[in-house]
Amino acid sequence: PTFGSELKTIMSVSHGQQDEFVSAGIVYAWMYEDANFDKKVGGLVCEVNGRYRIEELESRLIRVINDLHAKTYSQYYLGELNFISEGITIEKRYGTALAALCFVDFQQPESDKPAGGL
């Protein structure tokens, strides 16, 4: 019998004070073996947070995931980008924007490139 479980989380969080705008976002995409997008080999996830409008936040997320893909698993095809984002203007004394992706398990695909993308 299972006595418990573990939940892994990739989280983006931005804290602020009254009248500030804060935002947090995550982008994720599956990677595929070929251009037909038939066989999944894994996925990539990136996070950005700060005081960005949602449009700027998502633009930064696109740059970050494309850079990560180019430096690590460029031998695979990157699928459709998916966004999780939150932005708020803080009305009370303090506030937080939080975006999270939670999952139970994962597998790491092999890469021909050494660690650190060098």
Domain range holding 41?
Answer: 8-106
Q: Has residue 47 been placed in a domain?
A: yes
At residue 106, does pLDDT exceed 70? no
pTM as predicted: 0.81
Percent of the chain at pLDDT above 90?
Answer: 76
For the segment 73-103, what is each residue's pLDDT rounded down to a tens digit? 999 999 999 999 999 999 999 999 999 999 8
Q: Has residue 112 been placed in a domain?
A: no
Task: Please check whether residue 36 is in contact with residue 89, taking contact to mean a CB–CB distance below 8 angstroms.
Answer: no
pLDDT value of position 54:
97
- For the residues of the chain, what is the DSSP string, one character each? -------EEEEEEEEEETT-EEEEEEEEEEEESSTT--SEEEEEEEEEEES--HHHHHHHHHHHHHHHHHHH-TTSEE---EEEEEEEE--SSEEEEEEEEEES-------SSPGGG-
> Domain with 75 in it: what CATH number?
3.50.20.10
Total domains, the chain = 1
Q: Has residue 1 been placed in a domain?
A: no
At residue 28, does pLDDT exceed 70? yes
